[in-house]
Structure formats: C-alpha cells, structure tokens
C-alpha cells in the first residue's frame, strides 16, 4: 500500500446519490508543500530583516550626520529627521516626525522644492534661515539645500549649514585685499625712491642718495616685519610648533617689556609703569607670552597721547590663575570696532584724527598674534575702551594644570 495521508475530503450529493471525493496526498506531497511554505516564510523573514536593517542604517545615518536630513512623504508630512535639524532650522529641540513640512520650515520655497522632488526632480540651492524662518539678514544661518526623490513616492530634503564656510570665505577675501594693500604701499614707495635715485645718479647728482636709501631701508624693514608676523600668526594658528613651557617670573617679564618700550614712550613725555609685586611664578612659553604682552604695550604706547603713561598691572587671581592688564589713557577705540579688534590686518583710524597721538601705522597683525598666543595657553584676552579716555587689554591665564 502506498504511503499517503488524506489531505482533503469533499461530500457531493447529486440526484439523490451521495459521493465522497477523497484527494490523496503522499508524504512527498506534504513535504513539498511544507518546504514551499517554509521558503515563503523565510522570504518574508528576509524581507522583514532587510527592512529592519534599512531602518537601522537610516537611523544610524541620521544620528551621525551634521546635516539636517528630512524624509518627507507624498503628503508633505515629515517621516524622519536627523537630530541636528532643529538646530539648523533654528527651531530648537522639536519632534519633527509627523509634522507637516511647512510647519517645520515655515518656508514655501522649501515646500515647492520638495513637491518637485516628489515628482522626480532634483534641485540644489542656498538660502538663509533665521529664527525658523527664511530671511536675508546678515545674522541669518546660511544653508545649502538639496531636494531629491526617495524612490518610494516621497522626497529627501538635506540642509547643510554653510554659515562658518561663508564667514571663512569672507575672512579669506578680506585677508587677500588687506595683504595686497599692505604690500602695495611700501613697494610703491620703494619703487618711487629707487627711480628717483636712478634718475639723480644718471645726472651725477648724489646729494639725496643717502636720505632716500634710508627711506628704502625703513620700507624694507616694514615688509620684513610683516612677513615675520604673518609667519608667527600662521604658526600659532596651526599649532604646528609645541609650546616650550617652563616656570618663569611674570613680573620680571613685564619689566623687561616695559624697559624695551620706555625710550619710545619717553620721546613723547610718557612712561610705562609695572604694577605688581614679584616674583610671580607661572608656567608657560615665555617667548610667546612676552611677544603677546609686547604687542599690547606697543599698541598702548602707539595710541597714547603726548605725556600719557601706560600701566602693566600684574595680579594673582583667587583661583590660582594670573591676570595681566595693559592700561593706557589715550585716545580710545570706538565701540563699533571692538568686536573686530583681534582680526588680522584690522586697524582703527584714530578717533581724534591723530592729534596728540604718539604714532600709528603697523601691520594690523599684532593683536591677532597676541590673541592666538594667549589661546594656546588656554587663556583669554579681552578689551574694554572708552573713546577719549583710554583702553585696557586684559590677559587671563589659568592656574598651572588647568589649561587645555
């Protein structure tokens, strides 16, 4: 007898006669059906696993990215969003999932781009965002936008914050413009003086050669100084050269700087006073900190009035840190310039047109160098100023071991 099982029985009544219809399934038939069912179940499991893995990869991507990534359905409702979306859209900690796109972005242009992406188009552009709305203020957050179809009837919307990139582009442009200006002036002077000397020499007139040669030397020294300061600034910014830290007396350093600039101040009836009892020992790169303090003192002397005195105030703070204040009683700095005072090549026109001020000029790099030298030590440098009264630059250094 063949090996079989009854899989299906059907009763059929026709013309008063009852028929029993039996379908027989062999063990092989059952095994085949069971195997088919198992394969279908396995395929379903694989599909679910793939969906789970896709979901996990998407979540991992959204968690890891610094961009605002939104997945938007065909109904323009947000299905998923990366954690930084609230920051880039200036909305704070908001739950975007399930929120209509227009409510999240408050911008019809983004909605229009998303609609086009849902229709299969890809669009790229840049916009400004401020307080959750699109604006055109200089204080706006500048973002790039990519809208693309997601292949499932919806769209991807990717916003990348370019605010810092735009700021760096502006700084680079200003740097090139300022550098060109700073180079053009002395080079033009050198060229003019050289042509004058050449013309006079051709006529056998050497009476003015010495004075003009001296002026050329001054301009060349200015160029050398600017090149040296640019190299110093680049080195500090890059952090390529480690600080050579050692213990030294900060009061002694201040007295050394004061002695260096005392002759310049004395030429205009002024002086430099060091206020603070030594020794005051700190740990740091003495050369870099001396350069920072010297740049501040040079600025203070340069913008002092006739007979003005500059003070170097040295003090130990209660938390173990140290403070150096360079105080002048000169012409002051206009409030509008204070936020940019530490930018490279930034120089301030004298508020009194130069009357009564000791000197001017310079490369516009000294304060930027001072700032980076202090930052490398984990400290900070601040400035306060009142027009017509004076300016105070303050360096605050952390206690030994507290610097980052």
User: Measured between alpha carbons, how far is 239 from 387 in angstroms, rounded to an integer?
Assistant: 35
- With tokens 């051709």, the residue in question is 202
Confidence tier at 323 by pLDDT (50, 70, 90): very high
What percentage of the chain exceeds 70 in pLDDT?
A: 73
Most confident of 134-148, 181-195, 276-290, 334-348: 276-290
65-161 maps to which CATH number?
A: 3.30.450.20
User: By the 8 A CB rule, do 328 and 303 touch?
Assistant: yes
Summarize the confidence of residues 40-51 as an average pLDDT.
Answer: 57
Question: Is pLDDT above 60 for 246?
Answer: yes
User: By the 8 A CB rule, do 345 and 387 touch?
Assistant: no
User: By the 8 A CB rule, do 284 and 247 touch?
Assistant: no
Mean pLDDT (the chain) is: 78
Bridge-based pairing of strands 17-26 and 4-14 is antiparallel
What does the pLDDT read at residue 14? 55
User: Measured between alpha carbons, how far is 108 from 103 in angstroms, rounded to an integer?
Assistant: 10
In this prediction the pTM is: 0.53
Q: Which of 18-32, 64-78, 81-95, 293-307 has the lowest mean pLDDT?
A: 18-32
What does the pLDDT read at residue 62? 61
* Pair of tokens at residue 89: 């859209």
More confident residue, 310 or 1: 310
Question: Is pLDDT above 60 for 6?
Answer: no
Summarize the confidence of residues 310-321 as an average pLDDT.
Answer: 92
User: By the 8 A CB rule, do 303 and 331 touch?
Assistant: yes
Most confident of 21-30, 178-187, 315-324, 360-369: 315-324
Question: Is pLDDT above 60 for 82?
Answer: yes
Residue 211, Cβ density class (10 Å: 0-12 exposed, 13-18 middle, ≥19 buried): exposed
- Short-list 389, 271, 273, 252, CA closest to 325: 273
User: Measured between alpha carbons, how far is 339 from 383 in angstroms, rounded to an integer?
Assistant: 9
Q: For 102-143, what is each residue's pLDDT tens digit?
A: 888 877 888 888 899 999 999 888 888 765 444 444 467 788
Burial 40-78 (b: 16+ CB within 10 A, else e): eeeeeeeeeeeeeeeeeeeeeebeeeebbbbbbbeebbb
Residue 265, Cβ density class (10 Å: 0-12 exposed, 13-18 middle, ≥19 buried): buried
What does the pLDDT read at residue 86? 80
Question: Is pLDDT above 50 for 344?
Answer: yes
Q: For 152-189, what is each residue's pLDDT tens digit?
A: 899 988 888 888 888 777 777 777 777 777 777 778 88
Q: Which residues contact 373 (CB under 8 A, 6 or more apart)?
A: 236, 285, 288, 289, 291, 292
Question: Is pLDDT above 70 for 316?
Answer: yes
Q: Which of 80-94, 134-148, 250-264 has the lowest mean pLDDT?
A: 134-148
Question: Is pLDDT above 80 for 33?
Answer: no
Class of the CATH domain delimited by 245-397: alpha beta
- Short-list 20, 17, 22, CA closest to 6: 22
What does the pLDDT read at residue 194? 85
User: Measured between alpha carbons, how far is 87 from 104 in angstroms, rounded to an integer?
Assistant: 12
What does the pLDDT read at residue 302? 87
Question: Is pLDDT above 50 for 358?
Answer: no
Summarize the confidence of residues 241-259 as an average pLDDT.
Answer: 90
User: Measured between alpha carbons, how far is 241 from 246 in angstroms, rounded to an integer?
Assistant: 15
Neighbours of 252 (CB within 10 A): 16
Burial 150-186 (b: 16+ CB within 10 A, else e): beeebbbbbbbbeeeeeeeeeeeeeeeebbeebeeeb
User: By the 8 A CB rule, do 305 and 358 touch?
Assistant: yes
User: Measured between alpha carbons, how far is 82 from 152 in angstroms, rounded to an integer?
Assistant: 19
What does the pLDDT read at residue 247? 92
Q: Which of 58-72, 234-248, 313-327 has the lowest mean pLDDT?
A: 58-72
User: By the 8 A CB rule, do 148 and 122 touch?
Assistant: yes
More confident residue, 225 or 76: 76
Confidence tier at 240 by pLDDT (50, 70, 90): low
What does the pLDDT read at residue 46? 53
* Pair of tokens at residue 319: 């938390």
What does the pLDDT read at residue 47? 53
Summarize the confidence of residues 267-291 as an average pLDDT.
Answer: 89
């Amino acid at each position: 007898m063949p090996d079989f099982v009854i899989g299906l029985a059907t009763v059929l009544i026709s013309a008063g006669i009852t028929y029993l219809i039996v379908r027989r399934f062999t063990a092989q038939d059952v095994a085949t059906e069971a195997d088919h069912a198992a394969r279908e179940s396995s395929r379903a499991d694989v599909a679910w696993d793939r969906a789970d893995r896709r979901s996990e990869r998407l979540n991992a991507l959204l968690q890891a990215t610094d961009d605002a990534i939104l997945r938007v359905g065909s109904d323009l409702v947000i299905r998923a969003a990366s954690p930084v979306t609230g920051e880039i859209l200036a909305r704070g900690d908001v739950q975007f999932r399930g929120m209509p796109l227009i409510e999240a972005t408050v911008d019809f242009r983004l909605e229009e781009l998303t609609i086009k992406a849902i229709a299969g188009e890809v669009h790229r552009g840049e916009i400004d965002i401020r307080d959750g709305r699109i604006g055109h203020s200089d204080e706006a957050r500048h973002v790039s936008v990519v809208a693309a179809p997601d292949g499932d009837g919806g769209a991807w919307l990717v916003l990348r914050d370019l605010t810092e990139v735009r700021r760096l582009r502006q700084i680079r442009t200003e740097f090139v413009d300022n550098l060109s200006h700073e180079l053009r002036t002395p080079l033009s002077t050198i060229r003019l003086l050289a042509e004058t000397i050449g013309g006079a020499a051709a006529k056998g007139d050497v009476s003015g050669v010495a004075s003009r040669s001296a002026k050329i030397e001054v301009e060349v020294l200015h160029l050398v100084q600017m090149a040296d300061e640019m190299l110093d600034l680049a080195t500090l910014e890059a952090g390529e050269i480690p600080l050579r830290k050692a213990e030294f007396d900060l009061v002694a350093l201040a007295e050394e700087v004061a002695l260096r600039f005392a002759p310049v101040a004395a030429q205009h009836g002024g002086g430099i006073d060091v206020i603070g009892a030594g020794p005051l020992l700190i740990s740091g790169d003495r050369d870099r900190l001396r350069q920072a303090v010297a740049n501040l003192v040079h600025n203070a002397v340069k913008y002092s009035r006739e007979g003005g005195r500059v003070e170097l105030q040295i003090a130990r703070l209660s938390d173990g840190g140290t403070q150096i204040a360079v105080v002048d009683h000169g012409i002051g700095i206009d409030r509008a310039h204070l936020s940019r005072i530490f930018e490279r090549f930034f120089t301030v026109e004298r508020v009194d047109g130069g009357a009564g001020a000791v000197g001017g000029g310079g490369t516009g790099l000294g304060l930027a160098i001072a700032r980076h030298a202090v930052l490398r030590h984990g400290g900070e440098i601040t400035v306060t100023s009142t027009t017509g009264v004076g300016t105070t630059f303050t360096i605050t250094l952390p206690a030994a071991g507290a610097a980052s």
